[in-house]
Amino acid sequence: MTHPFILGHMSLRRDAARNWDQIVETGRRLVDEGTPLRLNEVARAAAVGVATVYRHFPTPEALLETIALPGLEALAARGEHALTEDDPGTAFTGLLLAGIDALLADPAIPPVFSAPDHVLPRTAEVVARLAGLNTLLLDRAQRAGAIRPGLTAADITRLICGIVYAATLEPDAAARPALTHRYLDLLLTGLRT
Amino acid sequence: MTHPFILGHMSLRRDAARNWDQIVETGRRLVDEGTPLRLNEVARAAAVGVATVYRHFPTPEALLETIALPGLEALAARGEHALTEDDPGTAFTGLLLAGIDALLADPAIPPVFSAPDHVLPRTAEVVARLAGLNTLLLDRAQRAGAIRPGLTAADITRLICGIVYAATLEPDAAARPALTHRYLDLLLTGLRT
DNA sequence: CATCAAGCGGATGACCCATCCGTTTATCCT
DNA sequence: AGGATAAACGGATGGGTCATCCGCTTGATG
């Protein structure tokens, strides 16, 4: 990942951009290792001054959101692709499955996705985009009679997070994907008409 | 709550027991307020020296487990009562509902209940007791044909925690109980044969 | 009442966080 | 090219929290 031009017309000095990259990359590594993001530690691991990290990312949340962004955008793209599918039922369940897999695959995503609000505009934007997609696909599936009425998109979002959370209670991480898929099946049985 | 005699034959000096009570009571208040338990803060709020708190509860987890214990034991008692019910299906679902309500009602319970291990023997014991009850009631319900086979008690436990977690994503706390009940209904539709 | 161990509390060293500021460096302009 | 300038750097440091240690107090015991 490489630093994006801000608002499309502003750029960072070359050394700043390089540091930005190193910080995000290091943060990604730490997140993947399961370490909670401590900005001082990120600075040390990235061989960069502490102030540099704080200048780019005032809080751990800001860095985490930056790290999570690509994954969230991939998921949103996946959702937009689902709009073109023929069967509203499979389009909807397909997005749920993709969401679960994304949440499981990238430890940066769950905390960002389930946070009540976001510090970066781009994160807020992509999460809102996902919510819109979710609403749209759910509505379609409900109209097609594939999903029972009386459920909101917010319910779906929460339940997906709940399923992923449930799977994290399994100590063996390798077993989690299979678990989430079983739990999603269970949920879908309840969701269908 | 009042300090239990340790192993049934050892007792604390009277002032120590009084402090113990005050610490647990203060901790309970803080937990109910949603404050994360910080031992220094508990000491200040309980008008007690820091060392006194640390002597009784070496870690925040130890205090939290102590605070959660009564609720967990009430739930276990509820589960033992469920054993005497006639219909295995309602006995099982009744315990699930009771579990959810307990997790929602007492903020001390979820972190203790879903922790992979426990620092106090009594906590470990009561959680194990609950697991046993869960296994037993699930097995009965499955044999009676009320619940589909292929699910373990651990699955159930995780799913219950997942549902409660899902409800905590709703910002309005007053709406959460209704949510969890709806989600449990959904889950039960999936669980039935 | 005297003895003494159990218990008390707060001072303190260790550690983490995040800001500030003197120095360095990229960029721009002549 | 090279100097001027602002952007960016980095680490020293003050502020805050954590948990231990130890000299003092107090309840229990005979």
* Contact: A187, B186; criterion CB under 8 Å: yes
Q: List the one residue out of A158, A157, A140 whose CA is nearest residue A90.
A: A140
CB proximity B191 to A under 8 Å: yes
Q: Does A167 reside within a domain?
A: yes
Shared-domain flag, residues A86 and A27? no
**What confidence score (pLDDT) does residue A193 get?**
85
Residue B147 has pLDDT above 50, yes or no: yes
Q: Which residue among A114, A116, A183 places its CB closest to the CB of B159?
A: A183
Could you give the number of structural domains in chain B? 2
Residues, CB < 7 Å to strand C: A 13-15, 38-41, 50-51, 54, 58-60; B 12-13, 15-16, 19, 48-52, 55-56
- Provide the CATH number for the domain around residue A27: 1.10.10
CB proximity A5 to B under 8 Å: no
Q: Which residue among B154, B179, B190 places its CB closest to the CB of A190?
A: B190
In angstroms, how far is C20 C1' from A49 CA? 13
Q: Does A98 reside within a domain?
A: yes
Shared-domain flag, residues B51 and B83? no
Chain A residues close to B161, C-beta within 8 Å = 165-166, 169
In angstroms, how far is D8 C1' from A37 CA? 23
Three-class SS state of B15: helix
Shared-domain flag, residues A49 and A92? no
Q: Does A32 reside within a domain?
A: yes
Nucleic acid strand D within 7 Å of B172 CB: no
Burial of residue A29 (CB within 10 Å: 0-12, 13-18, 19+) is middle
Mutate which of A152, A160, A161, A169 to test chain B, going by most B C-beta atoms within 10 A?
A169
**What confidence score (pLDDT) does residue B12 get?**
87
Q: Does B26 reside within a domain?
A: yes
**What confidence score (pLDDT) does residue A9 get?**
40
Which residue does chain B place closest to A157, by CA atoms? B166
Shared-domain flag, residues B85 and B169? yes
Shared-domain flag, residues A37 and A86? no
What HEC string does B23-54 produce?
A: HHHHHHHHHHHCCCCCHHHHHHHCCCCHHHHH
Residue B36: which nucleotide is closest by CA–C1'? D17
Nucleic acid strand D within 7 Å of B39 CB: yes
pLDDT band at B187 (very low <50, low <70, confident <90, very high): very high
> Contact B65/B35 with Cβ under 8 angstroms?
no
Burial B152-175 (b: 16+ CB within 10 A, else e): ebebbbbbbbbbbbbbbbbeeeee
Shared-domain flag, residues A53 and A74? no
Q: Does B8 reside within a domain?
A: no
Which protein residue's Cα is closest to nucleotide D8 at C1'?
A16
In angstroms, how far is C7 C1' from B36 CA? 27
Q: Does B3 reside within a domain?
A: no
Stretch A160-165: mean pLDDT: 98
| Angle in degrees, 0-180, between the axes of helices A60-82 and A14-33, rounded to the nearest 10 | 80
Q: Does A99 reside within a domain?
A: yes
**Which domain does B44 fall in, by range?**
14-58
**What confidence score (pLDDT) does residue B7 get?**
43
**What confidence score (pLDDT) does residue A64 get?**
98
Q: How far is B3 from chain A (nearest CA, A)?
A: 31
Tens digit of each residue's pLDDT (9 = 90 or more) over A65-118 = 999 999 999 999 999 999 999 999 999 999 999 999 999 999 999 999 999 999
As a whole number of angstroms, the distance between CA A146 and CA A160 comes to: 18
Shared-domain flag, residues B122 and B174? yes
Shared-domain flag, residues B92 and B180? yes
Shared-domain flag, residues A48 and A125? no
Shared-domain flag, residues B30 and B81? no
Please state, for a pLDDT cut of 70, what percent of chain A lies above it: 95
In angstroms, how far is D9 C1' from A18 CA? 12
> Which of chain D's bases lie under 7 Å from a protein CB?
7-12, 17-22, 26-28
Shared-domain flag, residues A39 and A119? no
DSSP B121-184: HHHHHHHHHHHHHHHHHHHHHHHTTSB-SS--HHHHHHHHHHHHHHHHTSS-GGGHHHHHHHHH
User: Is-above-0.85 flag for pTM?
Assistant: yes
As a whole number of angstroms, the distance between CA A38 and CA A44 comes to: 10
**What confidence score (pLDDT) does residue A8 get?**
41
Tens digit of each residue's pLDDT (9 = 90 or more) over A170-192 = 999 999 999 999 999 999 999 99
Q: Does B154 reside within a domain?
A: yes
Shared-domain flag, residues B117 and B83? yes
- Provide the CATH number for the domain around residue B157: 1.10.357.10
